[in-house]
Structure formats: C-alpha cells, structure tokens
Amino acid sequence: MRFAKVVVDVPVAQTNRIFDYEIPVHMEQSVFPGMRVIVPFGPRKIMGYVLEVTNHSDIDKIKPINDLMDVTPVLTKELLELGKWLADYTLSFYISTFQAMLPQALKASYEKEIHRLTDVLPQNLETFFAGRDYISYQSFIDAGGSYQNLQQAIQAGDIEVIYHVHSKETTKKRTMIFSKVEPLVLEEAIANLPKQATKKKQILRFFQEQTKPIEKKQLFNQLNTTHNTVKQLINDGLLKEEKIEVYRNPYQNKEVERSSPLPLMDQQKQAMDPICEALDDNLHCVFLLQGVTGSGKTEVYLQAIQHAMEKNKEAIVLVPEIALTPQMVERFKARFGPKVAVMHSALSKGERYDEWRKIHRKEVQVVVGARSAVFAPFENLGLIIIDEEHETSYKQDEHPRYHARDVAIQRATYHHCPVVLGSATPSLESFARAQKGIYQLLSMPQRMNEAEMPTVQLVDMRDELHAGNRTMFSRQLKQAMEERIARKEQIVLFLNRRGYSTFVMCRDCGHVNNCPHCDIALTYHRHNQRLKCHYCNYEERMPSECPECESDTIRYFGTGTQKVEEALQEMLPEANIIRMDVDTTRRKGAHERLLTKFGNKQADILLGTQMIAKGLDFANVTLVGVLAADSMLNIPDFRASEKTFQLLTQVSGRAGRHQLPGEVIVQTYTPEHYSIDLASTYDYDAFFKKEMLIRKTYQYPPYYFLTLITVSHPNQLKVMEVTKTISLLLRKHLSDQARILGPTPSPITKIKDRYRYQCMVKYKNEPNQRKILKKILAYFEDEMKKEDLFIQIDLQPYQLM
C-alpha cells in the first residue's frame, strides 16, 4: 500500500499541516511529489499538493485520493521544500506559498485537454482520439483510459496534457515534417522503392538535403505532393510528423534583431570575473553590483547569463514590473532569442501560462520577469540576477508576504550558485550587508563612453512664489523646455504621483510638520483639523500659519498628471505631449505604443509618473524635469528619504545617455534636504552615511527589524480592542529589548468601510517572535473566520500604509 502526504487547499491554521491519503491501486504508478490531486476533506472534495509518497502511514482511518489533477508534477522537489520554508518564514499557509509559485491559469482551470503531437499514435491511444486533434481529459478517463498509458505517451512525446485556458486566444499549432533517419538510410529506401514511386522518391531526396523540420503546408506546396504520400512514408518509419505549438507570446510576433556580446570595458570585466568564478566553482554567494545608470550593468548581466548557459545552466533575471519595458525585454530577446521566457503582468493569463510552460518543458534557459518569476521551475539554476534591487515592489504585499531577494538567496543556496543584486542606488539594507562583508561589493562608477552624469540644477520653488510665479513650472524649467523644443531635442517630465496628498507643507518656506518621535511627516485629518503620527499616535493641532515663518500659505500637497498636462499645454501650446500614467496605459500594449511614439520623435515631451523613471533609454532626451521632488519625501514612511534619493538618481539617469549632454532640473521646496541635495551631486556614500545615522537614532532597519501588524474590521471599537490585545500579548511575551509601538490608526485609516489599526514591533533579536505571532493568529482564528476580522502580519514590511 502506498500513501501520499498532501497539503490541502483550505487556508486556515487548523489545516496548515500535512494530511495522509491512500493511493488507490490504479494510480499507484502515477502519483509523484509536486502533483496536484483531488482529495476528500470532510464532506467536500478539494485540491491538494502531494509533498511525498511513502509506504507507511500512522493514520488508522485513511481515505483514498479521488483523482489526479496533473499528469506530470507542476512543482519540483526543490520548490516544495522552498514552499515549506517560505510558509514558515512569512507566517503564511503552505497552500498559499505553493499557489504563489504557479501561473494563474493553472490554478484557475481544472479542465485538462490531451493534445496529440503526432498523426500516428499507438493504437491503444488512437482508440480514444479517433482521429481528433485533442480530447478532454475527462472523456479519456470516462472511457477507461489509464494514467499509466498517458504518462508513457507523454514520455514518448506522442501527446501532451495542457490546461484549458479560458481566453480568446487558443493555442495554435503547426505541423512539422522531418526525416527520422540518416541520409544514407534514405538513399537505401529510395533504391528499394519501385520504379513508378517517383513522388515518394522526390520527397525522400528532398529530405536528404533538408535536415531541419519543415512545415507540412510548405512541404506540400514546394513538392506539389499530398497528405497520403507523406503519410505512407511516415508509416514506413522514414519521416516523422510533429505538431509544434505557436505560442501566444506578443513579443514573439516582432522579429528582434540579434545582438552579440560587446567587448567589455575594464570596470565591466572586474565585475564580471568574480561572478563567473563563483559560477564555475558552484559557489553560492551574493554580489552587490553598484553601477551608476548607464555604466553597462545590463551588458554584464547578459554576458554572465551567457556564461551560465554555456555551462548548461539556467538563469533568472528579475526586473521591477514598471521597468519591464519592451525596451528591456528586447535586449534579452536580442541576445538569447527563443531561449528566453518573459513573465509579467501585462501578459494575458494564457500568455503567462505559455511562458511558464516553456520553462517547465525545458525549452528556455532564461526567464526575465517581475517578482514572481523567482519561482521559475528551473532545475539547474546557475545564476539569479535582481536588477534595481532597491525597488520595494520586490516585496509582495499580500499573502505570502515574501521579498524576492530572500527567496532568490534561498534558491541560490540550494543550487550552489551566485546571486547578483544590481543597482545604482542600493537599498540601505544591502549596502550595509556589503560593508559588513556579507555581500561582495562590485562597483562600476563610470558611465559608458566616458559620458558625464547630467548636471542637476535644484530650483527653489519658494523663490518662484516670492517672485510672483504661482504656476507649477519654474522659470528655469520653462526656458529650458523652450530651448529643447526649438532644437528638436526631447524632454522627460517626471511627476511623483505616489506622493501622499495628506501631508501639509508651507509653500513659503517648505516647512513640513514631522513627528518629534518618529521623524516621519504628520498626516492631516480634515474632520478634526489635526495632524497625526501614524507610527506612534502623537498628534497636534493643524496650524493656521507656518510654525517656522508664520506664513499663512501652509496647505496640503499633491497634483495629478492630467492637471499638469493641461497646464503644460497651456504654457507651451506648440509642444507635443505624451502623458504616461495608470490611466493612459491601462489598455494592453498602450505602454509600448506610447514609448515607440516618443522614441520615433513624434512628441517633444514625455510626462509621466514612476513608470517612466526606469529603464528608458532614448538618445534624444537632453532634459529631465522633476516637478515636485518633495512629494515622495513626505510620505509617512521611514524610507521616504531613501526613496527620494533613489528616485531622483534614477530619473536623472534618463538624460544624456548617448552623444548629447544631459541636464536635469529638480523643483523643490526643500533644496537643503540632504536626500535632494546629495542626489543632485550623485553622492551615494554621503547619503548612506547620513541616512544610516538617522536609522540608528530612530531605531529603524537596517539596525532594527520591524514587524507590522494591521487589524481591520467594519467596527472601529472592535479593531481598537483587538489591536490592543495583540500589543499587550506582544509586550508580555517578547523580550524587554523589543519596542512595541501602538496601537494606533493606520496611515490609511479606513479602506472600503473597514477601520484599520496597527502596531509595530522594533527588535534586534526575538527568536520566539514567529511562535508568538502564530499563537496570536490561532487565538483570533475563530473571529477571523466568523466575524470578518482581518489580521495581517508583515515581517520586514515595505508598505507602511
């Protein structure tokens, strides 16, 4: 008797363990770890993942597996282990972590189809197909088909099982014909054919030359032959026919011109060599590649990947979602052609499933993708690269709350391979680790072709106000734009819309009210006219005049891109403007269309949010304008300064990347703030020192770890009470060294009629914390299920609202 250890699809604490099921005799040879099965659970039948197959179970009353969902495993052994580790690491359920590793289409669809890959199936299978191209899995099982037959046929390459994806595009297949035997054997076959078989002879002669598969249709046209003649040669075992899928991938349609490796510059060689050495020695280590924008990091990635591929290993490249531009993807496609799979959210469900399948079938060796591509089911990983490693979008803000960097390091440890973290402005966490020698620092301080970083001019918007300019464009920026338009050069204008519009600032002197305890901007509450700190609950009255300069121009902050576009058009009526934000890029392909338009110089100005800050490379852009550098600076987040520094550096990197020199104009109300000032001189080291000092003083990462617990419920009293209980429990059970802040309302106090409260733990070393938090979750589980209570625990949070 064989048994399967199964994790079931019921995400509550009581079921977050492994259940034993009996494997029925007819499935005995067909169940493997990493497959999904349908199992009885109470009165229901649900999905589960098989973790292990054993000969032994301690359970008395054991139930049998009902059905198999997969015919081949969808998760490798490594990914199963990774899932268990990740569940513990992020306080998630096993089932959530396994689900996070698979493409949506696989999870959504239980409907399988069996597709034939050849016209000549073994007789025992042909009876089920009866000439059809594909049949449903269910009809196969209903007609008495066996799992074992199926698995053998998959192994032999006769059929494949795919999940039916509900989408307009269906899988397209082309039938290819190729010779199954050596040219010499064909020669003999030709000699053995009767004299009158001229057509057959002609076909076989053709295949003496044609060694690559040729599309059936093309063969028919070229040789003016028929289906029957070819089929006879297939039956004779001389030719073979195979259906090859035409994937839905949108990038596939466009022919990308292939590129070849560039001779590396010295600084690139010095970065590349240690990475390749680690690869050659099967050594796990983490490299932090700090290279200014335009220093040639991507070329280093490309060549390091090539090195891995030459050793028959695979590579994962993670890129932030918004930097996963067609331009970026094209560079990888150009170098590695069909060996690359691309995974990001702009693809349809079906397209993403196709890309995943290319990895699963080992058709590709490289995947370029956003966060979740870190789970690509490669089995021979040689390299993981995380570009723009400082980007906070690498942290997932829903279950399981993982950081791609942690997962990458975990996987690379398993595979004994290097991880490369690349950035012009590394996160404080990573740079601090590099300084301690935990990561190995590789630096590329020079831009390609000795190009200078563009000069950054800070414009003090307070002076503009005093000079009577009440528009959102300074006189300097206006003049610089007019010059560029006259010279037919292009402009990128950046507006940070992620800025939080509820902080108040004096437009006269730039003063912002900060919490005296937490050093983050206080948030304005309209209903009671008060300013509040969302970490510690400190509050004060909304001032009617600026506490610094007594001006009465103190007010909230924030403007939308559309308003800016209108004002811009009014000021520069002759300018062609492209606006890029969530609204104009919602439609599929819009992002690419707009960029192509700008690249073809069909517009003078590209105006946009975060999504234009990264990865764009246009030769003709000589001016970058930042409209409101302060809006990022004053979000209620202790990383506000770091984010501002990173963003300004990033944006500046968009200008003057090629022959023409670049200029950057940054408009701000606080030019003296260190993150704006130091970004204008590209002084990362000085910024790092200054910011580390502040983190130390106010006890933030990387000196301290954080845990953020957010509670929400429609009833405010309930939320307050639960959050209070949680903070009391934490105070009681954590060590004296841990600091527990709160309960306090979350920065966003109410979402969809649910009140939100939080408490935050700052700590250095609390080995018991996970255990305590699990107990707390278990304690409230009933209320979470029945009373619509929601408790969210985020270890090392990046999203603090």
Interacting span for ligand ADP (CB under 6 A) from 290-298, 304-312, 723-731, 762-770 = 290-298
Quick one: which of 67, 330, 460, 548 contacts Zn ion (CB under 5 A)? 548
Q: Name which of 439 and 535 has its Cβ closer to Zn ion.
A: 535
Q: How far apart are CA 145 and CA 624, in angstroms?
A: 65
What's at 28, amino acid-wise?
Answer: E
Q: How far apart are CA 44 and CA 215, in angstroms?
A: 48
Q: Choose among Zn ion, ligand ADP, none what residue 448 binds, the Cβ cut-off being 5 to 8 Å by kind.
A: ligand ADP
Q: Choose among Zn ion, ligand ADP, none what residue 548 binds, the Cβ cut-off being 5 to 8 Å by kind.
A: Zn ion
Quick one: which of 181, 276, 448, 720 contacts ligand ADP (CB under 6 A)? 448
Going by their DSSP bridges, the two strands 705-713 and 790-795 should be labelled as antiparallel
Q: How far apart are CA 799 and CA 435, in angstroms?
A: 26
Interacting span for ligand ADP (CB under 6 A) from 4-12, 286-294, 389-397, 793-801 = 286-294
What's at 473, amino acid-wise?
Answer: F
536 is a contact residue toward Zn ion (CB under 5 A): yes
Token pair belonging to 142: 């209903």
Task: Say if residues 603 and 597 touch (Cβ distance below 8 Å).
Answer: yes
Quick one: which of 334, 448, 549, 590 contacts Zn ion (CB under 5 A)? 549
Token pair belonging to 21: 């099921």
Q: How far apart are CA 141 and CA 183, in angstroms?
A: 42
What's at 146, amino acid-wise?
Answer: S
Q: Pattern of binders to Zn ion over 732-761, x per CB under 5 A?
A: ------------------------------
Q: Choose among ligand ADP, Zn ion, none what residue 472 binds, the Cβ cut-off being 5 to 8 Å by kind.
A: none
Instruction: Give least dist CB 555 to Zn ion, A.
Output: 11
Q: How far apart are CA 289 and CA 421, in angstroms?
A: 6
Instruction: Give least dist CB 465 to ligand ADP, A.
Output: 36
Q: Name which of 378 and 645 has its Cβ closer to ligand ADP.
A: 645
Q: List, as one string, the DSSP characters of 23-56.
A: EPGGGTTT--TT-EEEEEETTEEEEEEEEEEES-
546 is a contact residue toward Zn ion (CB under 5 A): yes
418 is a contact residue toward ligand ADP (CB under 6 A): no
Quick one: which of 9, 113, 241, 299 contacts ligand ADP (CB under 6 A)? 299
Q: How far apart are CA 215 and CA 193, in angstroms?
A: 25
Instruction: Give least dist CB 498 to Zn ion, A.
Output: 22
Interacting span for Zn ion (CB under 5 A) from 169-177, 242-250, 460-468, 544-552 = 544-552
Q: What are phi and psi of 216, to 5 degrees?
A: -55, -50
Instruction: Give least dist CB 294 to ligand ADP, A.
Output: 4
Q: Name which of 669 and 687 has its Cβ closer to Zn ion.
A: 669
Q: Choose among Zn ion, ligand ADP, none what residue 509 binds, the Cβ cut-off being 5 to 8 Å by kind.
A: Zn ion
Q: Name which of 540 and 617 has its Cβ closer to ligand ADP.
A: 617
* Cis check: omega of the bond before 73, within 30 degrees of 0: no
Q: Choose among ligand ADP, Zn ion, none what residue 692 binds, the Cβ cut-off being 5 to 8 Å by kind.
A: none
Neighbouring residues of 156: CB distance < 8 A, sequence distance ≥ 6: none
Q: Name which of 297 and 313 has its Cβ closer to ligand ADP.
A: 297
**Collapsed DSSP state (helix, strand, coil) of residue 552:** coil
Residues 419-438 that bind Zn ion (CB under 5 A): none
Quick one: which of 90, 92, 171, 293 contacts ligand ADP (CB under 6 A)? 293
Token pair belonging to 531: 């300013």
Instruction: Give least dist CB 443 to ligand ADP, A.
Output: 12
Cα 783 from chain centre: 33
Could you tell me which residues are beta bridge partners of residue 624? 492, 664
Q: How far apart are CA 81 and CA 576, in angstroms?
A: 54
Quick one: which of 34, 296, 418, 656 contacts ligand ADP (CB under 6 A)? 296
Quick one: which of 96, 290, 298, 303 contacts ligand ADP (CB under 6 A)? 298
Residues 489-528 that bind Zn ion (CB under 5 A): 506, 508-509, 511, 515, 517-518
Interacting span for Zn ion (CB under 5 A) from 79-87, 348-356, 538-546, 768-776 = 538-546
Q: Name which of 299 and 581 has its Cβ closer to ligand ADP.
A: 299
Q: How far apart are CA 102 and CA 370, in angstroms?
A: 14
Q: Name which of 441 and 448 has its Cβ closer to ligand ADP.
A: 448
Going by their DSSP bridges, the two strands 490-494 and 605-608 should be labelled as parallel
Q: How far apart are CA 692 and CA 287, in angstroms?
A: 21
Token pair belonging to 238: 């001389």
Instruction: Give least dist CB 300 to ligand ADP, A.
Output: 7
Quick one: which of 143, 262, 283, 438 contacts ligand ADP (CB under 6 A)? 262
Task: Give which of 692, 727, 708, 711 is closest to 799, Cα–Cα.
Answer: 708
Q: Choose among Zn ion, ligand ADP, none what residue 508 binds, the Cβ cut-off being 5 to 8 Å by kind.
A: Zn ion
Q: How far apart are CA 570 and CA 421, in angstroms?
A: 44
Quick one: which of 538, 674, 698, 779 contacts Zn ion (CB under 5 A)? 538
Task: Say if residues 438 and 430 touch (Cβ distance below 8 Å).
Answer: no
Quick one: which of 16, 97, 268, 710 contacts ligand ADP (CB under 6 A)? 268
Q: Name which of 423 and 502 has its Cβ closer to ligand ADP.
A: 423
Quick one: which of 103, 294, 382, 400 contacts ligand ADP (CB under 6 A)? 294
Query: How many degrees, rounded to 5, is the angle at CA 10 between CA 6 and CA 11?
Result: 110
Q: How far apart are CA 235 and CA 118, in angstroms?
A: 12
| Sign of the C-alpha dihedral computed for residues 220, 223, 225 and 228 taken in this order | negative
Task: Say if residues 332 and 368 touch (Cβ distance below 8 Å).
Answer: yes
Instruction: Give least dist CB 301 to ligand ADP, A.
Output: 8
Quick one: which of 190, 264, 276, 748 contacts ligand ADP (CB under 6 A)? 264
Neighbouring residues of 445: CB distance < 8 A, sequence distance ≥ 6: 267, 291, 292, 295
Token pair belonging to 219: 């063969």
Instruction: Give least dist CB 800 to ligand ADP, A.
Output: 29
What letter does residue 581 receive in the DSSP assignment? Answer: S
Q: Which residues contact Zn ion (rule: CB under 5 A)?
A: 506, 508-509, 511, 515, 517-518, 533, 535-536, 538, 546, 548-549, 551
Q: Which residues contact ligand ADP (rule: CB under 6 A)?
A: 262-265, 268, 291, 293-299, 448
